[in-house]
């Protein structure tokens, strides 16, 4: 091979490398086999100790339906797009359950104790029709509160609590819960003791976090 042929081969290799690099940069967003996303499906409700059954059904009413914190549901309330569970062409692998709590006003020490009691007396249940429950947890476990003690440094012989909650609000699952396309599922949050009226109108948000597969 002479010097001219060698130079031509080198130029071809450079052009091929550039084309491959350009194709790699332009690929990845649009795929023929769909997308895989890190995703959270969420819904929320207001605490209300007078709710007749003390049970809140979540992920039932989608965007634009009644039942939002202010008027019809907006994206701040939920990102459920319909009333059939996971939409057609999607599948959610739930790898963690998240709980968020929004107190609408400043709380006294007594009300904070009532808040801890509400978490300990409230459970979340996940089930699919035709199957047994997929999981049951108390909200204090998901919140990450091993000890709930209110500090009072002014008290005589004050001793700080041995441990305090990290208030993580995330429970990783050892086994993912698979919510397939168009399969209905039931997620309920139930107060086994009526929450104090002091907590009325506070907001609890539940998130199902994991991997979402969807067709492009």
Per domain, the residue ranges of the chain are 33-214
**Model confidence at 131: pLDDT above 60:** yes
For 177, other C-beta atoms within 10 Å of its C-beta total 18
Q: Which residue from 95, 78, 12, 15 is spatially nearest to 41, judged by alpha carbons?
A: 78
| Cα distance between residue 33 and residue 159, in whole Å | 60
- pLDDT, tens digit (0-9, with 9 covering 90-100), for 197-211: 999 999 999 999 999
Average pLDDT over residues 124-149: 88
Q: What are the backbone angles phi and psi of residue 26, rounded to the nearest 5°?
A: -90, -5
Least Cα distance to 77 among 47, 42, 37, 116 occurs for: 42
Which tokens in the block code for residue 42? 């969420």
At 65-92, the pLDDT tens digits run 998 999 999 999 999 987 767 888 899 9
pTM for this predicted structure: 0.80
Q: Long-range contacts of range 104-111, CB-CB < 8 Å, 24 or more positions apart?
A: 104/201, 104/202, 104/203, 107/198, 109/150, 109/152, 110/198, 111/196, 111/198, 111/199
- Does pLDDT of 23 surpass 80? no
């Amino acid at each position: 091979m002479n010097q001219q042929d060698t130079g031509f081969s080198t130029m071809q290799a450079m052009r091929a490398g550039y084309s491959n690099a350009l194709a790699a940069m332009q690929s990845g967003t649009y795929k023929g086999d769909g997308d895989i996303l890190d995703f959270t499906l969420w819904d929320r409700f207001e605490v209300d100790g007078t709710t007749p059954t003390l049970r809140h059904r979540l992920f039932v009413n989608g965007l634009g339906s009644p039942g939002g914190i202010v008027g019809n549901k907006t994206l701040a309330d939920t990102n459920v797009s319909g009333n059939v569970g996971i939409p057609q062409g999607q599948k959610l692998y739930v790898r963690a359950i998240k709980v968020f709590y929004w107190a609408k006003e400043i709380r006294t020490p007594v009300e904070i104790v009532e808040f801890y009691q509400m978490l300990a007396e409230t459970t979340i249940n996940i089930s699919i029709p035709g199957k047994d429950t997929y999981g049951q947890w108390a909200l204090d476990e998901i919140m990450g509160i091993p000890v709930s003690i209110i500090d009072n440094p002014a008290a005589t012989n004050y001793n700080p609590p041995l441990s305090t909650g990290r208030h993580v609000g995330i429970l990783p699952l050892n086994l993912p819960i698979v919510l397939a396309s168009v399969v209905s599922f039931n997620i309920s949050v139930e107060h086994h003791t009526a929450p104090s009226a002091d907590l009325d109108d506070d907001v609890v948000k539940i998130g199902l976090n994991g991997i979402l597969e969807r067709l492009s």
